[in-house]
Amino acid sequence: MKLSARNQLSGKVTSVRKGEAIANVVLDVAGQRLVASITVEAVDELGLSEGSEVTAVIKASDVILATE
């Protein structure tokens, strides 16, 4: 698969928590925790489960940083 998005992070699924419509998929990306909120339907279609190898593709118009 080819994508124009450059922000791609490879990782492994460590847990999937399904709600009614949305699932939180927790990834381990080089020792860092990343959580993706996607539809339950997408989890099922992608066959995601603990141990699945995935690529997180991040497409955002803004990244906001804050300090105290």
Task: Report how many domains make up the chain.
Answer: 1
CB under 8 Å to 55, separation ≥6 — which residues? 8, 9, 10, 11
Q: Confirm whether 3 is domain-assigned.
A: no
Higher pLDDT, 2 or 37: 37
pLDDT digits (tens, 9 = 90+) for 18-48: 999 999 999 999 999 999 999 999 999 999 9
Q: Containing domain of residue 16, as a range?
A: 8-57
Q: Confirm whether 64 is domain-assigned.
A: no
Q: Confirm whether 12 is domain-assigned.
A: yes
pLDDT digits (tens, 9 = 90+) for 45-67: 999 999 999 999 988 778 788 99
Q: Confirm whether 30 is domain-assigned.
A: yes
Q: Confirm whether 42 is domain-assigned.
A: yes
Query: For residue 31, what is the domain's CATH number?
Result: 2.40.50.100
**Which pLDDT score is estimated for 48?**
98
**Which pLDDT score is estimated for 59?**
82
Residue 28's alpha-carbon distances to 17, 40, 52, in angstroms, are 15, 20, 11
**What is this structure's pTM?**
0.84
